[in-house]
Structure formats: structure tokens, C-alpha cells
Chain A
Amino acid sequence: DGGITQSPKYLFRKEGQNVTLSCEQNLNHDAMYWYRQDPGQGLRLIYYSQIVNDFQKGDIAEGYSVSREKKESFPLTVTSAQKNPTAFYLCASSMGTGPYEQYFGPGTRLTVT
């Protein structure tokens, strides 16, 4: 089956710890994205990557980091510098940058206490 996988589905961490969220796609898509979703709000872009070894900051990149060493993988690290890390994190991919639909993974719900 082609698609996007994210793991884990639920993640619990203590304040002050860095945590890495996994995102893998087998759709052969060039572009990948990380969004954050908070209750009652739309999706906000954290980082995106248009091609391997390249990525750009989105609207709310502070406290987050990413890497894109392989086309299939785009992991997101939530660092201890992120002030309100508890949220639902969604990874997406598309064929490229352009008017293409985005395909989403199932999401990771991160709770930091």
C-alpha cells in the first residue's frame, strides 16, 4: 500500500526533553511538510522540504528542527525550546511544489508534562 506513515500515534514526554517524530512516505513525492494542529484551529506549517537535503521554515519553526537525508523520510524534532509542544502533529507530502493535493499521515499526538 502506498501512503504516509507516522509513528508513534501517541507520545508522552517530560518537559526539557527533545523528542523526534517519524514520517515516512512511499509515494515517491518530492515535497514533504510538517504541520501542527491545535484544537479549534487550522493547520500551521512548521517546516517543509521541496527536495532531498533542502528544507525551509514555515510560519512556526521556532523550537523545531528537521532533516531530509532521504526522499522517503522527513523526521521532526521537537526541542526543549518549544514553549507549548503539546499538540497534534501531521506530516504530509505532495508530488512537488505547485497546485498539488497534499496527502497526510495519521498524525502523532504529543503530550508534554
Chain B
Amino acid sequence: GQQVMQIPQYQHVQEGEDFTTYCNSSTTLSNIQWYKQRPGGHPVFLIQLVKSGEVKKQKRLTFQFGEAKKNSSLHITATQTTDVGTYFCAGPVDSNYQLIWGAGTKLIIKP
């Protein structure tokens, strides 16, 4: 069946360093969504990418959708403590737009 793989599972960074998570689908996606889940919280929608090669920015966050619409990335510049959490990508699995989720990348700030 369709899979969405997300790497790495964890990333430890010093505050101020950059962070990147990658998402790869086994099939072409019509769109991809990114969510953030703070520790003990629930997922919160960040952004949706629809077009091939699309790049969107939200302050220090940059989201990219690959040309083949099978991969995506989220890059955070100069991480802050408020960025701590798990970042998930999710893409529709069928025409009903039911989402299949990556396993998430946990951003950990080193003390």
C-alpha cells in the first residue's frame, strides 16, 4: 500500500542551529500537508503545498514540494525553544482525501 516515509525520527540541535525533516511518498501526491505537535499536545496545521516545485515560507520555516510531487521538506532556520515538538507530513491516500501520515520528526533542543 501507499506509504509516507519521514526522516529522521529525531534531530537534536543546539538553539540557533538549523533543522530539516524530509518526507517521501511511494506514489505521487496531489498535495501535502505539514503539522506540528507540541509535547503533550495535538497536531496543528502549518501549511499545505499543492504545486510541483512549490516553495512556501512562514518566517523561519521553509516548505518545499518536489518536482515529481513525491517528496517534501521542512527547513527551520535558527531554531528557537518554541520550535520544539514533532513535525508531521501527511498526504491524501485516495480520492476521498484521507490522509496518510509520516511517523514524524521530533525536534529536540540540546540543553
CA distance A106 to B42 in the complex (A): 6
Residues in B lying within 8 Å of A, measured CB to CB? 4, 6, 9, 30-31, 33, 41-45, 48, 50, 88, 90, 92, 96-99, 101-104
In the complex, chain A residues 65-113 whose Cβ is within 8 Å of any chain B Cβ: 90, 97-107
Residues in A lying within 8 Å of B, measured CB to CB? 40-45, 48, 50, 56, 58, 90, 97-107
Contact A102 B50 (CB under 8 A): no
Residues of B within 8 A of A99 (CB): 30-31, 48, 50, 92, 97
Given A40-B9, A43-B88, A104:B96 Cβ within 8 A: no
Distance in Å from the Cβ of A97 to the closest Cβ of chain B?
A: 5
Distance in Å from the Cβ of A10 to the closest Cβ of chain B?
A: 12
Residues of B within 8 A of A106 (CB): 41-42
Given A99-B31, A101-B48, A105-B42, A42:B96 Cβ within 8 A: no
